A and B are shown apart, each in its own frame.
Chain A
């Protein structure tokens, strides 16, 4: 297995685990703690898919910071509306 394929596999396993964990945490944790955990897990998953699968890591900083920066602002606003 090549290096890139290994990274894809590790990313996929991490994404699946984060999905299951965020589902479980959303049911067991309440309030701002639950909100923070689910949002942080979602941001991490978005970074994993975009940087590794979509190969954003190979793109110019403009695309990288544009997309990921927008996402952070988006989740900050979601956090404000939900808290």
Chain B
């Protein structure tokens, strides 16, 4: 493949979106890190209430979704639509599983009264993870539309640009989570 600056995999528009999204989330995470450095005790004690195990499982779920989507695109490039659709369906299911696990984590937080207004830590926690949650939801919708199109044979080994673009959006959700997960859950 020719390495053209104007034609990255998935198209230039999705790459501009990926950059903007990653920079935006980075600013939020850095603001969190800065505020934490001013309130270490509050942030550490609040962080202790988070479900690290659930978040680790969710990270593995998202990474698995990224793997399944990458495999789906590989099969589509070879014209194997049926197999490709199967991989994409797997990626959709991991997305749904991520949303269910995250939803249950939110339920636990609310049950214990850890809402957006409890303290500064939880304000950041809710804003950062909820924006990411919305991105995963949108990605699941995009992948579902692509799944039916791939299954119907709308995309072929010669025409898979849209699937690559949708896949790039899906991987972007992975990347954002890979930035959020260590800072919110692991680093202390």
- Where the two chains meet, the residues of A that have a C-beta atom closer than 8 Å to any C-beta of B are 2, 4-5, 8-9, 11-12, 15-16, 19-20, 22-23, 26-27, 35, 38-39, 41-42, 45-46, 49-50, 52-56, 58-63, 66-67, 70-71, 74, 77-78, 81-82
Contact = CB atoms under 8 A, between A and B. Distances in A.
Contact of A81 (B3, B22, B36): B36
Interface stretch (B56-64, B107-115, B152-160): B56-64
Interface size class of B (residues with CB under 8 A): 35 or more
Contacts of A56: 8-9
Contact of A8 (B3, B23, B71): B71
Contacts of A19: 56, 59-60, 63
Interface of B: 1, 3-5, 8-10, 15, 18-19, 22-23, 26, 29-30, 33-34, 36-37, 52-53, 56, 59-60, 63-64, 66-67, 69-71, 74, 78, 167-168, 171-172, 174-175, 178-179, 181-183, 185-188
Q: Binding site of B, secondary structure by majority: helix, strand, loop or mixed? A: helix
B3 A23 contact: no
B33 A4 contact: no
A54 B8 CA distance: 10
Contacts of B5: 60, 62-63
B67 A53 contact: yes
A45 B56 CA distance: 13
A23 B178 contact: no
A74 B174 CA distance: 17
Given A5-B74, A19-B56, A49 B178 contact: yes
A42 B62 CA distance: 14
Given A19-B59, A49-B63, A78-B29, A60 B179 contact: no
